[in-house]
């Protein structure tokens, strides 16, 4: 009975993983071969090139996705969580903070995360646009309506984000299962019509393609990489489903379906070279175009939803790790803690996606923009994984270097090829990544400057309390909780309260929130209390970077440590920092002004930590950087 339950649970998770994890890579057949043989690339449609390209795609899916990501990278989990931020945390914890590699690894992790956001802009744009373009194949006079219809679909998708996806999310898996079944059937139909395309399974065709025309082969890599986009997403979603369902979904459903469809499209082009204008929609003939447009539009919306949800998740992690300012985070499901909505990110991303759709105008142009950020992120993942495998797991040095150099050579070849597209749209996701990288690095550095300022002016808490109780002030009924930074001395709010009110509550708690470089912190380890004497306590709260920050919930845990709280008798004193830029400070003037702007618009601590507003007393303090 237990084994049956486990099997049914694995089956359900596998179907769910098909819907969420593989939407991006699963919709790549819509535009990959079409883009490869686009006239701008100058790759002639002939048997040698076709066999070489199809062979490259199938073996790329095998080596890059199956071996690198599904088999190897999925092992680098941070307490069950994956993704570039989790991998960065794992790599940083593998070496000491004094190591010369600590800062470069952090920079790589931030840059990889920033590029992931760039991918998150292109994915919804190119996927939905390529699906809607099917109506232009069926009825050319509908061509002018493709971009407006895409814009309407995307606006609708982003508008419903605030309601969450818990209700419709259960249909994602079954719908994508139908999608992959359709890919497989269409592929088989065309393989039967041109069975000699199966020769492309021999990697020798890819080698001949490269050796006989290295320049054309190098250019082709920039388009072939479109078949592998979404590999990062399957690693990022590991925490939602676990390794086994993701691996089962890939090897049993996704990989066979994709391989069959790419082979089928190759067979179609061998039999009918005129289908090169849009081989995906021509696989079954004119009768199938409208049903395929409907199905592919639904599939691309699901793929886009997964990208949007992934972006929200990574932003939350970046906020927790101190790389982005606090933002409003809404939980859209009472059952699933991972279902979140971040309004600011939602609307900024929508604007960027619409600019991409309107600005580039077609999936061919957008595909040119796709790739450079993906391949750069792949390189970052390879490098970070090396540090985990070598310095955390202590694998054999020769094995670590050999595997890393092998995959790095592939990543560098794909990245180098995509640099050719830099002036044809590749600059767009790269520019978005650089902007976000600058924002994240500026916030991180700005917080360090604030931290240094607070340390320089800090009054040691223990010494202060010792002198305070030599002639103690009047104690009043209730509990006062003062939020205090990790290395702060006496909180400014306490000094203000003593200076103006001349009283101290009968019980005083200094609350410090710590974020660990791991995704989750068990409730038993979230609270640590130190008795400072005179009914004063230091309360240390520990969160993982995916934990929900909820101070009232943590205070409930304190009862187990003999420090119970009654919220109606507890007041929270918070110092609201006003950051002021000063000439000759720690950053360039424009970066200081950027940090000040972000700091002033950051979500308040009380709101972020879900402290009841009627229990909060905010006091202002100025900090110069």
pLDDT over threshold 80, residue 100: yes
Burial classification of residue 62, based on how many CB atoms lie within 10 Å of its CB (0-12 exposed, 13-18 middle, 19 or more buried): middle
Mean pLDDT calculated for residue range 259-287: 90
Rounded to the nearest 10 degrees, the angle between the axes of helix 289-320 and helix 146-159 is 40
| pLDDT value of residue 311 | 84
* DSSP line for 50-70: HHHHHHHHHHHIIIIIIIIII
Neighbours of 406 (CB within 10 A): 14
pLDDT at 4 over 70: no
The pLDDT-based confidence of 334 (bands split at 50, 70, 90) is low
**pLDDT at residue 165, rounded to an integer:** 63
Is 0.95 topped by the overall pTM? no
Residues 373, 377, 378, CA angle at the centre, nearest 5°? 120
How confident is the model at residue 576, as a pLDDT? 77
User: Looking at residue 5, what is its pLDDT?
Assistant: 35
Query: Mutual orientation of helices 214-224 and 397-418 as an angle, nearest 10°?
Result: 90
d(CA 262, CA 30): 10
Q: What is the DSSP string of 168-236?
A: HHTTHHHHHHHHHHHHHHHHHHHHHHSGGGGGGGSTHHHHHHHHH-HHHHHHHHHHHGGGGTTHHHHHH
pLDDT digits (tens, 9 = 90+) for 571-614: 998 877 777 777 766 788 888 888 888 888 888 888 888 888 88
Classify residue 101 by its DSSP letter.
T
Token duo for residue 411 = 């990543």
Task: Report pLDDT for 455.
Answer: 76
pLDDT of 179 over the 60 cut? yes
Alpha-carbon gap, residue 145 to 281, rounded angstroms: 18
Q: What domains can be seen in the chain, in order of their start residue?
A: 2-425 (1.20.1740.10), 454-624 (no CATH)
* pLDDT tens, residue by residue, 423-449: 777 888 888 889 999 999 999 998 888
Other CB atoms within a 10 A radius of the CB of residue 434 amount to 15
What pLDDT shows up at residue 82? Answer: 77
**Which has more pLDDT, 34 or 486?**
34
Q: Can you tell me whether residue 1 is helix, strand or coil? A: coil
């Amino acid at each position: 009975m237990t084994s049956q339950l486990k099997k049914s649970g694995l089956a359900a998770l596998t179907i769910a993983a098909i819907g969420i994890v593989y939407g991006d890579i699963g919709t790549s057949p819509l535009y990959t071969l079409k883009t490869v043989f686009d006239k701008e690339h100058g790759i002639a449609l002939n048997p040698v090139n076709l066999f070489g390209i199809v062979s490259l795609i199938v073996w790329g899916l095998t080596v890059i996705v199956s071996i690198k990501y599904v088999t190897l990278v999925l092992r680098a989990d941070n307490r069950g969580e994956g993704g570039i931020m989790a991998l960065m945390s794992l790599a940083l914890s593998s070496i000491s903070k004094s190591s010369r590699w600590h800062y470069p690894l952090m920079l790589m992790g931030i840059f990889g995360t920033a590029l992931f956001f760039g991918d998150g802009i292109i994915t919804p744009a190119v996927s939905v646009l390529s699906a809607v373009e099917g109506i232009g194949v069926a009825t050319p006079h509908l061509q002018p309506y493709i971009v407006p219809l895409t814009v309407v679909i995307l606006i609708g998708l982003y508008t419903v984000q605030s309601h969450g996806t818990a209700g419709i999310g259960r249909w994602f898996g079954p719908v994508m299962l139908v999608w992959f079944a359709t890919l497989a059937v269409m592929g088989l139909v065309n393989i039967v019509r041109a069975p000699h395309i199966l020769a492309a399974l021999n990697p020798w065709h890819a080698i001949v393609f490269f050796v006989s025309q290295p320049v054309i082969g190098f250019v082709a890599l920039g388009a072939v990489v479109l078949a592998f986009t979404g590999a990062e997403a399957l690693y990022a979603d590991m925490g939602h489903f676990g390794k086994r369902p993701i691996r089962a979904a890939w090897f049993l459903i996704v990989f066979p379906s994709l391989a069959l469809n790419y082979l089928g499209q190759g067979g179609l082009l061998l039999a009918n070279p005129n289908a090169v204008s849009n081989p995906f929609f021509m696989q079954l003939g004119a009768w199938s175009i409208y049903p395929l447009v409907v199905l592919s539009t639904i599939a691309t919306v699901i793929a886009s939803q997964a990208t949007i949800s992934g972006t929200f998740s990574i932003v939350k992690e970046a906020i927790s790790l101190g790389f982005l300012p606090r933002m409003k985070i809404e939980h859209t499901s009472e059952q699933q803690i991972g279902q979140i909505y971040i309004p600011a990110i939602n609307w900024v991303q929508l604007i960027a996606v619409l600019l991409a759709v309107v600005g580039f105008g077609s999936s061919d142009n957008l595909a040119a923009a796709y790739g450079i950020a993906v391949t750069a992120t792949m390189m970052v993942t390879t490098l970070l994984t090396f540090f985990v495998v070598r310095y955390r797991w202590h694998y054999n040095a020769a094995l670590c270097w050999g595997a890393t150099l092998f995959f790095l050579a592939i990543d560098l070849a794909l990245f180098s090829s995509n640099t050719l597209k830099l002036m044809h749209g590749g600059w767009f996701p790269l520019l978005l990544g650089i902007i976000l990288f600058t924002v994240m690095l500026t916030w991180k550095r700005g917080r360090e400057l604030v931290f240094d300022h607070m340390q320089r002016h800090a009054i040691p808490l223990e010494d202060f309390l010792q002198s305070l109780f030599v002639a103690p002030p009047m104690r009043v009924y209730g509990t006062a909780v003062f939020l205090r930074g990790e290395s702060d001395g006496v909180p400014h709010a306490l000094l203000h309260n003593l200076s103006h009110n001349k009283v101290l509550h009968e019980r005083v708690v200094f609350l410090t929130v710590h974020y660990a470089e791991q995704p989750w912190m068990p409730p038993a380890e979230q609270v640590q209390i130190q008795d400072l004497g005179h009914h004063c306590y230091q309360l240390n709260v520990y969160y993982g970077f995916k934990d929900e920050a909820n101070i009232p919930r943590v205070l409930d845990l304190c009862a187990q440590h003999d420090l119970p709280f009654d919220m109606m008798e507890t007041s929270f004193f918070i110092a609201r920092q006003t950051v002021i830029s000063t000439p000759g400070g720690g950053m360039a003037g424009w970066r200081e002004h950027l940090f000040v702007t972000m700091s002033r618009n950051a979500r308040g601590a009380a709101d972020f930590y879900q402290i009841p507003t009627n229990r909060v007393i905010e006091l202002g303090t100025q900090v110069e950087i």
